[in-house]
Structure 1
Amino acid sequence: MLEKITLIRGRAVPLRGEDIDTDRIIPARFMKALTFEGLGQYLFYDERFDEGGNPKPHPLNDPRYRGATILLVEAGFGSGSSREHAPQAIKRAGFKALIGESFAEIFFGNATAIGLPCVTLAPEDLEVLFQAVEEDPALEVEVDLLAKEVRFGDRTAPLSIPEAAREALVEGLWDPIGELLEAGELLDEFDRRLPYPRRAE
């Protein structure tokens, strides 16, 4: 059984900008690795560093947000190509949830499949949260998938997430490949009942 993801609590980093695509999230030249290990260091690389590798002004370079585990984004986040490296880079950079106005469908699916919840708020609630975090980087934010709400300060805002994705996360069923691997004996039994052809031993 995978981890049941019901409540994410932590500080947040605000990332302004609509329609941030996957090429900005993780530039294509960093996708040559054979595994996803280490991708976190390349998250938003071209926006965070100049050609000489020197840091540029960017929320992820701001020491006030160091250690944040929730990423605040705006509308259309994760658009563009379907590269699964984008949510992998976000997760491996230490983020445990995203809160935004809307997410690209394929990005959302790829994120859910690695246990990275992407929830949406009404635009007015999201703007209040953005401003609160920008004013107080130490503000704690809670994403409650059971209660379907985001809490910060003395405020509570209802969140939205497709019910199938929410159930998969809270029940620990968010990785379909992992589920198949864990179901080895059941697959073998099913295979034995098939008349033809059978899997190779």
Structure 2
Amino acid sequence: MAIPVQPLVSVRGTAIALHGDDIDTDRIIPARYLKSLTFDALGDHVFEGDRRIATAAGGAHPFDAPEHATASVLLTAENFGCGSSREHAPQALHRWGIRAIAGVSFGEIFSGNSATIGLPCVLLTPVDAAAARAAVDADPALEVVVDLERSELRAGSLRWPVTINESQRRRFVAGNWDTLTTLSEAGAAISEVAQRLPYLHNWHVAA
């Protein structure tokens, strides 16, 4: 039995600010994890290489910082999710706990793969994206809201307009963004139509 998909009107929580452009999918989830048979454990390995480098240098990657342990929003810069078209990248972020991403631009396939699993990627201007990241850097406990109904990003008293593919936005808000679940819920209607398709029955279906 299919689990009903819930409308995704807004995502609310604390945020992680990742600085730097062109963060590719290989950095998000290393290629060696593409052999995993399921996505279940990918969250443990998100940004694994970057996190190890930061630790070796005596620092802490934002995904290791205690103040970000329960963050649900990711703030990025330009061309986030570029590179190879691995669906494991948004899966890893989602299973870590990220429920929305706001940035200047995204790799097209990454954005599409994210939408498929209910992880909206919304767009900000470069100036607004930098201001949002700066606000979170200054106060990691700041509540951040990605509001798909109002098409805006809020951080405390600050707010910025965001854009997203309108078709995606409507599907998120309506709760029919998961096309596979929508298809499975329409099983009876699909079967009824199939019975009327002559090419599925050697052209012997009555008109």
Query: TM-score when scaled to structure 1?
Result: 0.93
In 2, Cα distance between equivalents of 1:78 and 1:55: 26
SS at match of 1:129: helix
Q: What is the aligned partner in structure 1 of residue 183 from structure 2? A: 180
Q: What is the aligned partner in structure 2 of residue 84 from structure 1? A: 87
- Deviation (angstroms), 1:178: 1.6
Q: What is the aligned partner in structure 1 of residue 171 from structure 2? A: 168
Among residues 140, 148, 151, which one is paired with 1:145 in the alignment?
148
In 2, Cα distance between equivalents of 1:156 and 1:135: 16
Unmatched tracts of structure 1, length 5 or more: none
- Deviation (angstroms), 1:53: 10
Among residues 93, 98, 101, which one is paired with 1:95 in the alignment?
98
- Deviation (angstroms), 1:196: 2.3
Unmatched tracts of structure 2, length 5 or more: 202-207
Q: What is the aligned partner in structure 1 of residue 196 from structure 2? A: 193
Question: Residues 1-201 of structure 1: matches in 2 within 5 Å?
Answer: 1-49=4-52, 57-197=60-200
In 2, Cα distance between equivalents of 1:146 and 1:180: 24
SS at match of 1:142: strand
Deviation readout 1:114-157 (Å, 9 max, x if unpaired): 10011111111111111110011000011111111111122111
In 1, Cα distance between equivalents of 2:57 and 2:179: 40
The answer (yes or no) to whether the contact 1:125–1:157 under 8 Å persists in 2 is: yes
Query: TM-score when scaled to structure 2?
Result: 0.90
The answer (yes or no) to whether the contact 1:144–1:150 under 8 Å persists in 2 is: yes
The answer (yes or no) to whether the contact 2:77–2:130 under 8 Å persists in 1 is: no
In 2, Cα distance between equivalents of 1:196 and 1:151: 53
Change (3 A) 1:53 1:32: farther
In 2, Cα distance between equivalents of 1:183 and 1:54: 53
Q: Which deviates more, 172-181 or 136-145?
A: 172-181
The answer (yes or no) to whether the contact 1:49–1:55 under 8 Å persists in 2 is: no
Change (3 A) 1:170 1:72: same
SS at match of 1:147: coil
Give the partner amino acid of 1:23: D
Structure 1: which 4+ aligned runs deviate by more than 6 Å?
A: 52-55
Identity %: 47
Larger Rg computed on CA atoms: 2
In 2, Cα distance between equivalents of 1:78 and 1:193: 43
Report the count of equivalent residues: 197
RMSD over equivalenced CA pairs, Å: 1.8
Give the partner amino acid of 1:87: P
The answer (yes or no) to whether the contact 1:47–1:56 under 8 Å persists in 2 is: no
